[in-house]
Amino acid sequence: MNLYNLPIHTLHAKRLRGDICTADIAESILQRIDETENVIHSFISLRNEEILEEARAADRRIQDDASVDELEGMPIAVKDLFSTRGIKTTCGSRFLENYVPPYESTVTQRLLDVRYNLVGKTNMDEFAMGSSTENSAYGVTRNPWNTECVPGGSSGGSATAVAAGQALAAMGSDTGGSIRQPASFNGIVGIKPTYGRISRWGMIAYASSFDQAGPLTRDVEDAALILEKVVGYDDKDATSLRLPTPSFRKSLGQSIKGSKIGLIKEIDLSSCDPEVIRVFEENLEVLKEAGAEIIEVSIPNIRHAVATYYVIAPCEASSNLGRYDGVRYGLRADDPEGLIDMYEKSRDEGFGKEVKMRILIGTFALSAGYYDAYYLKAQKIQSLIRLQYHNAFQKVDAIAMPVAPTPAFRIGEQSDNPLQMYLGDAFTIPANLAGLPGISIPGGFSKEGLPIGFQMLGGSLQEEKLIKLAHCFEQTVNLNSPDLVV
């Protein structure tokens, strides 16, 4: 098997035994990028020249010290909304096309602390607003299982980089499903931790009360490994949780016998693609055979989740994106006729259609006369959803549901129907509204050979339970995987 197809933990064991060196891994990744990047376009920027050099430096250190960190020298990609000192960070927007941060995000700094090898910054929907990576100012990313299909979003570039073997893992962000949905569409693992588990310092904000970083990986063990490196309190982020970092890998290999898995009775799967329903039902059987018990739970207000999210998130976007004014940094329109004209032209030229639409929705919902009717009411429903999930998790260890109602759809298929695109987030949004951890793991394939993910949500701070269940599922399920088309 090509080295780029192997998980980090396997490659690390091989290099400690002397079977391979870190430079071999980097060469495999670079060759794979050369073969595929012009087709799928995972990256906005690449560090081709530095990757091999840093891998060789890791090999020299390994010769001196066999206790080197598992991530040292390992080629990992990062979504282009994490600030990286001295490296362009665009957030998929023309507004930031020349922005080079003078500081490092906490997530990337913690990866630098263990000497990871940054492959490059991955493509994404502009300001993380989208579910298909079609909204980037830097072009569309294509799904490596079918290049006529989207990779999901907004972390589509991160997901395709891992699925296509262009990186061993990648960091993404999840505001309404932007890690889990592209993980599903690309047949890899994606985990969104509890809100506050990972610092948001240095992440370019979309909706601050929902945004959460997380890894996209080839398997569950790698997800647990990377979580251990990036989770933890950060005094630069007021929402960061002051808690010790668990050893997530201790959950691997544990029996799930007696675990209780909840099914939400208010969720109607009849509108899902039949292939999604088939895979979901087969996945539940896998958990049952491993000793889990399936229990019905009630989240009455889940039917309002999409509407609630698409009021609150645009309101926060409207506020967060107010800083892009053509004055302090970022794009500035040429030859404005005055200050107001400069604001208007800069924002008109710098933002894409989807971002403008969400800013307008948020500004309207926050305006006088509409604040109480929309934003305040949405916050009240969000509180009810949080309470109902809390009550449900008194009875179950996890809640299972599909990741998305369909496998990856064709590029352009939903571009003119934003409502259909938004409804595609119905199964991922609730975790963000309630601040809960969620994981997407490969569950199967459609008849057309497209991946379909299986999602589980956990109670607050219950990532270990999710990892235990997901790892058991991963080790038990038997997937007949077709070949990538690239």
Q: Three-state DSSP class for 200?
A: coil
Kindly report the CATH number assigned to the domain that includes residue 136.
3.90.1300.10
Q: How remote is the C-alpha of 394 from its chain's centroid?
A: 27
pLDDT tens for 53-109 read 999 999 999 988 767 999 999 999 999 999 999 999 999 999 999 999 999 999 999
CA 189/CA 215 separation, integer angstroms = 8
What's the confidence (pLDDT) of residue 478?
A: 86
190 bridge partner residues: 216, 440
CA 160/CA 167 separation, integer angstroms = 9
- Considering only residues 282 and 480, tell me which one the structure prediction assigns the higher pLDDT: 282
CA 423/CA 404 separation, integer angstroms = 9
Q: Three-state DSSP class for 357?
A: helix
What's the confidence (pLDDT) of residue 267?
A: 96
Residue 197: inside a domain, yes or no? yes
Residue 371: inside a domain, yes or no? no
Q: How remote is the C-alpha of 378 from its chain's centroid?
A: 24
59-63 contacts: CB < 8 A, separation 24 or more? Answer: 59/21, 59/22, 59/23, 61/115, 62/15, 62/16, 62/21, 62/22
CA 443/CA 341 separation, integer angstroms = 52
Percent of the chain with pLDDT over 70: 100
pLDDT tens for 176-203 read 999 999 999 999 999 999 999 999 999 9
CB-hemisphere CA count at 13 Å for 206?
A: 33
At residue 416 the predicted structure's pLDDT band, cuts being 50, 70 and 90, is confident
Catalytic residues: 79, 154, 178
Residue 370: inside a domain, yes or no? no
Residue 253: inside a domain, yes or no? yes
Helix 377-392 vs helix 305-320: angle between axes, to the nearest 10 degrees? 120
What's the confidence (pLDDT) of residue 66?
A: 67
Q: Taking Cα atoms as reference points, which of 87, 147, 122 lies closest to residue 215?
A: 122
| 22 in Cβ contact with 15 (< 8 Å) | yes
Residue 484: inside a domain, yes or no? no
Residue 482: inside a domain, yes or no? no
Residue 114: inside a domain, yes or no? yes
How many domains would you assign to the chain? 1
CA 28/CA 165 separation, integer angstroms = 9
- What value does the mean pLDDT take over residues 231-239? 98
Residue 347: inside a domain, yes or no? no
At residue 481 the predicted structure's pLDDT band, cuts being 50, 70 and 90, is confident
User: Domain containing 242: what range?
Assistant: 3-262+392-476
CA 218/CA 2 separation, integer angstroms = 14
pLDDT tens for 30-58 read 999 999 999 999 999 999 989 999 999 99
